[in-house]
Amino acid sequence: MTTLRLSILFHRHTPDCRTNRLDPVNDMKQFFESREPFSLESGETLPSLTVAYHTYGKLSPRRDNVIWVMHGLTANSDVADWWPGTVGDGLFLDPGKYFIVCANMLGSCYGTTGPSSINPATGSPWCGSFPKVTIRDMVQAHKLLAKHLGITRIHEMIGVSLGGFQAIEWMVSDPDIAENVMFCATDSSCSPWLAAFNQSMYMAIKTDPTWGTPSLDAARQGLATARSIALISYRGPFAYNMSQKDSEEKEDPFFHRVQTYQEYQGKKLCDRFDVYSYVRICQSGDSHDVGRGRGGIKNALARIKAETLVIGITSDILFPPACLEELAANIPGSRLEVMHSDFAHDGFLIEHLQLNEIMHRWRKERKPDSGVNCF
């Protein structure tokens, strides 16, 4: 692993959801609009629904080459933007072979209905009045988009991190939707460890005196602090100690390079995300429990019929390998791969060479992909 590869992760391009600004060369964002009321698990109802999504490649005549990707917390529907080294000829997300779909999650601010959307009742952004959404609500939005696209069967479903929560939920709620599924750096429920990080972020955000004001610029300082807390859980000690090491000749004994780095990353998120979307998405993670109302996690995961690959990361402190081992153990016939990386949870964003090798090997060794009939 090199410092150069680490810097790709730490400084990769991200669009600005507050202006919906994307690189115009790569802006293939599409929108699905439903004017029907969208019921939430909480009992509240959104008057309508918009889902932003990207597609890559072409749908085969038999509609049997769909790969559906679900993204993490503050990512967007443009997989090539946030997951470098995975989309392209010969890569595991190959548009020349597959029809790749990625939808922006419900509650985000990258085009799908969320706190930054306009509330038709007021003519202003929802901000803090946007209702809480659950992982199950997010999956319902995915299902509506799939119906709109005429997709009734997914060749391969891929969920990473919070996207893995959604993929697990979708596979349990509709076991016949996908032939093959990959879950990476995720879990079947929100652990106390994850909930503790989330609660610490909420506490930091609520100390900001502008929290609760009806503005998308509210609680920027609180959001920056929350992002600093989150980064610690994403990256772990090795990545920090390698990339943020102080000079031996520093003049101020109280100064550490990482201090400015944390501040920079906090500001960077504030420049592209709003606090209300961030909180609602994190709260959706709090809601995640695939066993809720289904007789427990083991009973729920036993419903999954697809050929399943579970990928853990050796240094991931947010979803340690033991979590992925347990997940795989409860899914009939699943396969577990533990990927070595010194970059903790964010390893799935960096280790694209390993991921490509693992995915290609999995495809080669599982049941023949007789369903894929491209063009």
Cβ neighbours of residue 308 under 8 Å, at least 6 residues apart?
Answer: 180, 181, 182, 183, 328, 331, 333, 334, 335
**Which residue among the candidates 54, 71, 142, 345 is catalytic per the annotation?**
345
Is residue 13 among the annotated active site residues?
no
- Residue 249's φ and ψ, nearest 5 degrees, are -110, 25
Cβ neighbours of residue 350 under 8 Å, at least 6 residues apart?
Answer: 1, 5, 6, 8, 9, 341, 343
User: What pLDDT score was predicted for residue 17?
Assistant: 54
pTM score of the predicted model: 0.91
The average pLDDT across 339-345 equals: 96
**Do the beta carbons of residue 335 and residue 308 sit within 8 Å?**
yes
Burial 46-66 (b: 16+ CB within 10 A, else e): beebbbbbbbbbebbeebbbb
**Which residue among the candidates 81, 208, 316, 346 is catalytic per the annotation?**
316
Tens digits of residue pLDDT in 202-244: 999 999 999 999 999 999 999 999 999 999 999 988 888 887 8
Cβ neighbours of residue 108 under 8 Å, at least 6 residues apart?
Answer: 17, 74, 76, 114, 277, 281
User: What pLDDT score was predicted for residue 231?
Assistant: 96
**Which residue among the candidates 161, 189, 315, 341 is catalytic per the annotation?**
161
Tens digits of residue pLDDT in 129-138: 999 999 999 9
User: What pLDDT score was predicted for residue 368?
Assistant: 67
Cβ neighbours of residue 361 under 8 Å, at least 6 residues apart?
Answer: none
Predicted confidence band of residue 347 (pLDDT cuts 50, 70, 90): very high
User: What pLDDT score was predicted for residue 372?
Assistant: 57
Nearest to 126 by CA among 277, 328, 339: 277
Is residue 345 among the annotated active site residues?
yes
Least-confidence region, from 21-30, 246-255, 260-269: 21-30
Least-confidence region, from 59-73, 242-256, 308-322: 242-256
User: What pLDDT score was predicted for residue 13?
Assistant: 35
The average pLDDT across 129-153 equals: 98
Tens digits of residue pLDDT in 156-200: 999 999 999 999 999 999 999 999 999 999 999 999 999 999 999
Predicted confidence band of residue 91 (pLDDT cuts 50, 70, 90): very high
Output the average pLDDT for the chain.
91
Residue linked to tokens 């696209």? 149
User: What pLDDT score was predicted for residue 255?
Assistant: 84
Q: Is the pLDDT of residue 248 over 80?
A: no
Task: Compute how many other C-beta atoms are within 10 angstroms of the C-beta atom of residue 161.
Answer: 26
Q: Is the pLDDT of residue 4 over 70?
A: no
- Residue 101's φ and ψ, nearest 5 degrees, are -120, 135
Query: Would you state the structure tokens that stand for residue 174, as one six-digit string?
Result: 């509709």
Distance CA(299)–CA(330), nearest Å, equals 9
Cβ neighbours of residue 352 under 8 Å, at least 6 residues apart?
Answer: 83, 84, 85, 86, 91
Tens digits of residue pLDDT in 25-71: 345 899 999 999 999 999 999 999 999 999 999 999 999 999 999 99
Domains recognised in the chain with CATH numbers: 3-189+291-365 (3.40.50.1820)
